[in-house]
Structure 1
Amino acid sequence: MSQHTDVVVIGGGQAGLAAGYHLRRQKMGFVILDAQASPGGAWQHVWDSLHLFSPAAFSSLPGRLMPAQPGEEYPDADHVVAYLSDYEKRYDLPVQRQVQVVGVHDDGRLLRVETTSGTWHARAVISATGTWWRPFLPAVPGREDFEGRQLHTVSYRRPQDFAGQRVIVVGGGNSGAQIASELAYDTELIWATQRPPRYLADDIDGRALFDAATARRRALNEGRNDSKGIASLGDIVAVPPVREARDAGLLKASPMFVRLVRDGVIWADGTREPADAVIWCTGFRSALSHLSPLGLRGPRGHIATQGTRSVQEPRLHLLGYGDWTGPASATLIGVGRPARDAAREIAGLLGVAT
């Protein structure tokens, strides 16, 4: 079965919903294809204690403020999932669920989107699949030899699962610091990082991060020196649990080990440490395998973009993968502006009167 529409949006998380909001305002026909069984995107799958970095009012998609969560300055993941579910219903966004996009192909006049439930032909495509579905594991020697438990951030849920164990958390970013901070109390914890942790000032939250990312993009667009944006401020937002563990002296980083062995790890000086589990908080890559048939990927797996538009394929826009697809576009508050720009550019390309 083949269906036609103006725009196919791939991914029904926060970026896909923001795209849908602006496509509706541009009066285009569109469908949102989502591989998940229910609304909420990746927020349905994060660890139990994860909270936003920003208050609800500063964590909203276009057109609809996120309501505050009673008793919480920074909303938790369940609150975000409820907000995204309500957002989808409020704007009656045409989301089709449990539809996996297999590949996007150039069919000449149209783009052909092959899925597990049929084929779509579209005049334009917005890819908004994010990064959660493509966890990155570094090529550390001996990883296959370790007989303990290994898992990535995507599979971590709660500290109780590791109580009394010897646990190594790898990674000096936000997920590494947050997971290490809650494991620090009831495990024998080692927190291994490539470089000493760089904490942002304690009073900085997601509002300041969005401002920094926006200022960087503006500077680059105007040909000024790269301010490095968020990276210039630090790597770790000192959310309350991280501050508490740090200030209690429980969150101390060790240098990165050089290899794993059957029962633990070894450092460069030959020091060995036994371990029951290694948790890899080592980040993600963009989930773009569905775009492989177009042959657009360049260095580091990125697709060259101007704003959100693919340089080589102007009918394709990428949304929500990080600063290379719009300042802070992987955040709730940051994705609205690039989503608006993408919808406007597609409307111009297709000659849609607004």
Structure 2
Amino acid sequence: MTHTLDVDVVVIGGGQAGLAAGYHLRRQNLDFVILDAQPAPGGAWRHAWESLRLFSPAAYSSLPGRLMPAQGGAEYPDAHHVLQYLTAYEDRYALPVQRPVRALAVHRDGDRLRVETDRGDWSARAVISATGTWWRPFLPAVPGQEVFTGRQLHTVRYRDPREFAGQRVIVVGGGNSGAQVAADLAPHTDLTWVTRRPARFLADDIDGRALFDTATARRRALDAGDTDTGGVASLGDIVAVPPVRAARDAGLLKAQPMFARLTEDGAEWADGTRAEAAAIIWCTGFRPALSHLAPMGLRGERGRIPTRGTRAVDEPRLHLLGYGDWTGPASATLIGVGRPARDAVREIAAVLG
């Protein structure tokens, strides 16, 4: 591809958010393309660790238009099942995904936007950025990181507990990823689980559907000018999916407070307590992968692009989808991305006529 191709809409990213956008673009009969940097369907789910589980049953983890089928013998589907679902979803709706195509930059180009890629340029009347966060893992700055001689890796590099069998391992992070990775490792390693604040497990009967409803209710309250309900954060930090529940009930998940520094062979707390470790796994979250939007100079406070709904305030031809609550309640989840995708596409269709 050496010349510029024209379409109504370019969607950047072929994961769950990009597919949800594609479904609604198809229903609006718009001319669009989805550019995906991955070599095959599935987005970030292609890179998840083996034991990763959804927070919700399959029926409550679906993209618009097609329910996720149940996974036999599992209340909460695993990453491989999600990958199969996304692959079938893309095929079912014949979504026009081009891959592997990496979007390098988005430029203003008169009354259009030009998407520069490693396989040529695309010209569009609107762009939906749906690149997610997996590709930009966050690592906190901790004293001593440069002197620790063991292995350090982020969640994105974790795959299987067998590679750490018999080792002393520190897992850092009090969210769902930290709890699931710690539960995965606990039977196989000498585990130390570290969280910045005491671990907060949600009630065992709360799953992703309840979290989506809670996030949506909070957004509606804020939009109406009512008191902030606190949303999901008011309920807790960790969904007790079965493997986490089992490890917790067996006494294998006992969180320690955050250490003060790393040492050559482990970690040290403020009171002088030490723990040796061959590896430290940082389950410390992600940041939005938005470097391709840098040429438009849209970032505001804390590096975030101001939005109204999904639309960029300072560039109405650009929509951001699937990056978290600031681009739609629970929009970084399978169940949550459908509604903001629908709203974004409806707004684009109205503008394009």
Alignment-derived partner of residue 222 in structure 2 = 220
Alignment-derived partner of residue 132 in structure 2 = 130
The residue type paired with residue 81 of structure 2 is H
Alignment-derived partner of residue 266 in structure 1 = 268
Percent same amino acid among aligned pairs?
76
Unmatched 5+ stretches in structure 2: none
* Equivalent-residue separation in structure 1 for 2:26 and 2:39 (angstroms): 23
Alignment-derived partner of residue 312 in structure 2 = 310
* Equivalent-residue separation in structure 2 for 1:301 and 1:205 (angstroms): 31
The residue type paired with residue 228 of structure 2 is D
Write the deviation string for residues 76-130 of structure 1: whole angstroms up to 9, x where unpaired.
Answer: 1111111111111111100001100000011121111000000011100000000
Is the 2:51–2:160 contact (alpha carbons within 8 Å) kept by the matching residues of 1? Answer: yes
TM-score between the two structures when normalised by the length of structure 1 = 0.98
Among 49, 63, 66, the alignment partner of 1:64 is: 66
Among 159, 169, 172, the alignment partner of 1:170 is: 172
Among 232, 236, 239, the alignment partner of 1:237 is: 239
* Equivalent-residue separation in structure 1 for 2:179 and 2:74 (angstroms): 20
Among 15, 18, 21, the alignment partner of 2:17 is: 15
TM-score between the two structures when normalised by the length of structure 2 = 0.98
Alignment-derived partner of residue 96 in structure 1 = 98
CA RMSD of aligned residues (A): 0.8
Alignment of 1:98-177 (within 5 A): 98-177=100-179
Give, in angstroms, the shift of residue 51 of structure 1.
1.3
* Equivalent-residue separation in structure 2 for 1:170 and 1:300 (angstroms): 24
Give, in angstroms, the shift of residue 300 of structure 1.
2.5
1:180 correspondence with 2:171: no
* Equivalent-residue separation in structure 2 for 1:349 and 1:258 (angstroms): 53
* Equivalent-residue separation in structure 2 for 1:204 and 1:307 (angstroms): 27
Among 333, 342, 345, the alignment partner of 1:343 is: 345
* Equivalent-residue separation in structure 1 for 2:47 and 2:138 (angstroms): 16
Alignment-derived partner of residue 37 in structure 2 = 35
Unmatched 5+ stretches in structure 1: none
Write the deviation string for residues 38-87 of structure 1: whole angstroms up to 9, x where unpaired.
Answer: 00111110000011111111111111111111111111111111111111
Give, in angstroms, the shift of residue 301 of structure 1.
2.1
Is the 2:268–2:274 contact (alpha carbons within 8 Å) kept by the matching residues of 1? Answer: yes
* Equivalent-residue separation in structure 2 for 1:39 and 1:174 (angstroms): 24
* Equivalent-residue separation in structure 2 for 1:145 and 1:350 (angstroms): 56
Give, in angstroms, the shift of residue 302 of structure 1.
1.3
Write the deviation string for residues 290-323 of structure 1: whole angstroms up to 9, x where unpaired.
Answer: 0000101122221101100000000000000000
* Equivalent-residue separation in structure 2 for 1:249 and 1:161 (angstroms): 23
Q: How many residues align?
A: 351
